Chains A and B, each alone.
Chain A
């Protein structure tokens, strides 16, 4: 597998008893690409993502993430990726700075580096006034933007975003995507799931999982052409409804 790929997956499969949750999926994600990982609830996205971030062992198949094997080098994978989800982002009863210290510490960054990088994202977001507030007191939109910044503290090669904008207001959702764009331009690979089909249009390429298999994989433009429709929403409805 070539190293210009951040993620390479070949016939990756996960079975639970008789049930095949992920059925021989194959794809590659380029460095600095924004890769949208879509699918209906229960299609196998979460299971696939768990294998890629090194917390679930595949039943069969191959995969390399950030250059590391998903069977043998799960700890190295964890050090080289970032992860945030809608369900778990930051600790509500710690302040913004404390959260950064905590997560930076977990990744083994020195106090000095944590302090510098924390101040850098605080200044960039223009939030000096709330940096010492408890995260629980902040609006959800802010929490998600901060969680993204904290997940990048250790400068991962790849960041996995699991429905990062669920329930977030339309303006903040767009600000969040601008942060994603910016990060991708700096070379970070973005692997993102979403149920907002307008967000699928912002990805460089999109895969759509149906019942454990990847049924479509291309740029949003090519997928719209392939299915002869005007939006990713229609592509999704056509595919997932069969």
Chain B
């Protein structure tokens, strides 16, 4: 077991940031914390990286206790906080050298681990970190978090605000790090990234809604789901919401995802209803639920 949390709670004044959180992450696993801003993800990261004490509960990282063995943990984990926290006035190379030195190592000693990522920013190694683009900052931050060859990597929203191309490249890098045996705990608000994790915990308002593989989470959606389209999407959404048998109505890319309350739902009834409302080019077809559908379903009933 690489990470273990047992009944962890933390409050800031009256605000309950996380409540009775328990989960385990296996050695070499990519485990995703999936949830919106304010769900408590960062609090969990700070507790696990020994920067914050939990009010209740205990946790181990790499077999060591986050309270008693905090010094040992710090030597064996890498942490990339959500907010860019490298030295803006130091160059790319100086930042990396600084973090290597702090951990008593050198860029050369562990170059093999970061090579794949660092070579992409090496042409800019003399540039100040503050002058890098978002994607390059992210790669430098990951290099700095890896320079001491950690066993466990904590990545707090590494891809928020990052474009889809850079996000895809970032996840390819994570998969290669995983292949080297590193355990990765990563948080993200993007549901498509959740699908790339081995297991995920859906988290909202400090509580875990569900923990499972992405496939099983998606399969947990309790009803039949339909893709619906018509010429005027705005009006379609309004009319679907007004339909008395509607269970949930959410725009989903080019479709509107619709679930009906009835177990014996017949799409023909819905088509008739939409035709009466003068909708044109109506399409109604069954579709497979995604992680995002399950997340919204669970969040709606919290």
Residues of A within 8 A of B (CB): 39-43, 86, 139-141, 163, 166-172, 174, 177-178, 181-182, 184-185, 195-198, 201-202, 220-221, 224, 231-233, 236-237, 240-241
Contact = CB atoms under 8 A, between A and B. Distances in A.
A18 to B, nearest CB: 16
B204 interface: yes
B135 A170 contact: no
Given A41-B163, A170-B295, A237-B168, A201 B36 contact: no
Given A170-B296, A170-B299, A198-B252, A39 B163 contact: yes
A237 B251 contact: no
A149 to B, nearest CB: 18
A169 B164 contact: no
B204 A169 contact: yes
14 contacts: A41-B161, A41-B166, A140-B37, A163-B161, A167-B37, A168-B36, A171-B299, A181-B237, A197-B253, A201-B254, A233-B192, A237-B168, A240-B164, A240-B165
Contact of A174 (B157, B165, B168, B250): B250
A173 to B, nearest CB: 9
B166 A40 contact: yes
B144 to A, nearest CB: 19
Contacts, number: 99
Nearest to A232: B253
A178 B249 CA distance: 12
Interface size class of B (residues with CB under 8 A): 35 or more
B16 to A, nearest CB: 14
Prevailing SS type, chain A contact patch = helix
A42 B164 contact: no
Given A41-B134, A41-B166, A168-B37, A201 B299 contact: no
Contacts of A202: 233, 251
Leading 10 A-B pairs by shortest Cβ distance: A169-B36, A140-B37, A40-B163, A198-B253, A201-B253, A42-B133, A41-B134, A181-B234, A167-B37, A240-B165
B11 interface: no
Nearest to B255: A201
Nearest to B138: A41
Contacts of A41: 133-135, 161-163, 166
B157 A237 contact: no
A239 to B, nearest CB: 9
Given A170-B191, A201-B253, A241 B36 contact: no
B189 A168 contact: yes
A181 B233 CA distance: 9
Interface centre among B133, B167, B189, B190 (most CB of A within 10 A): B189
A167 B36 contact: yes
B85 interface: no
Contacts of A169: 35-37, 39, 189, 204, 299
